Amino acid sequence: MNKEFLNVIVADNDENTLIFFKNIFKELKISIKVQCFNNGKNLMEYLNNNDAVVPEIVFINYAIPGKDSMECIDELKANPKFSNMVTAIYSEEISENEIEETFVKGNNICIRKPSDFGTLKKVLTEVITINWQYHTSGLNKDNFILKV
């Protein structure tokens, strides 16, 4: 597939988190185009638009307003247009049962969001690196489940 850059979407209602994600992605050696949405409703309106660029990976805050993360996952997994897109749910506080629910619904990655920038950078770097390898080597996304 060898692409020049990775398209990434981050959906979170916390402006500081969006800034953290953007800054971390800028520092990586991989070229990344980032789009941000502050609620699940706007995220899904964009993705369901015919002109939307389908990202390789979308990061969604578990507790996002507008349309919750599980509703977004349900919609994304039901639409073949998004079959090659990796989803990553993250939250500062998420129970084991909630993590399990995200995977049952078809989510690929679940992240307990660290509170400090350095650890968040390490986690996001790992996720993006694995994702980039998946896209450039043709790994099977159906087996791509990661709990960070």
pLDDT of 55 strictly over 70: yes
Token pair recorded at residue 95: 């129970």
Residue 95, amino acid: S
Report the pLDDT value the prediction gives residue 12, as an integer from 0 to 100: 97
Report the pLDDT value the prediction gives residue 48, as an integer from 0 to 100: 95
Question: Tokens 């770097």 belong to which residue?
Answer: 125
pLDDT in tens, 132-143: 555 444 444 444
Look over the chain and give the mean of its residue pLDDT values, rounded to a whole number. Answer: 86
User: Alpha-carbon distance 98 to 103, whole Å?
Assistant: 9
User: Alpha-carbon distance 101 to 105, whole Å?
Assistant: 6
Q: Among residues of the chain, what percentage have pLDDT more than 90?
A: 62
Report the pLDDT value the prediction gives residue 117, as an integer from 0 to 100: 84
User: Alpha-carbon distance 62 to 13, whole Å?
Assistant: 11
pLDDT of 79 strictly over 60: yes
Query: What per-residue string of b and e applies to 113-127 under the rule 16 or more CB within 10 Å gives b?
Result: bbeeeeebbebbbeb
pTM for the structure as a whole: 0.86
Rounded to 5 degrees, what are φ and ψ at 59? Answer: -100, 125
- The closest of 1, 21, 5 to 90, measured between CA atoms, is 21
Token pair recorded at residue 75: 């919609």
Report the pLDDT value the prediction gives residue 18, as an integer from 0 to 100: 94
Q: Which of helix, strand or coil describes residue 24?
A: helix
Question: Tokens 């996952």 belong to which residue?
Answer: 73
Q: Burial-class residue 102 by CB neighbours within 10 Å (0-12, 13-18, 19+).
A: buried
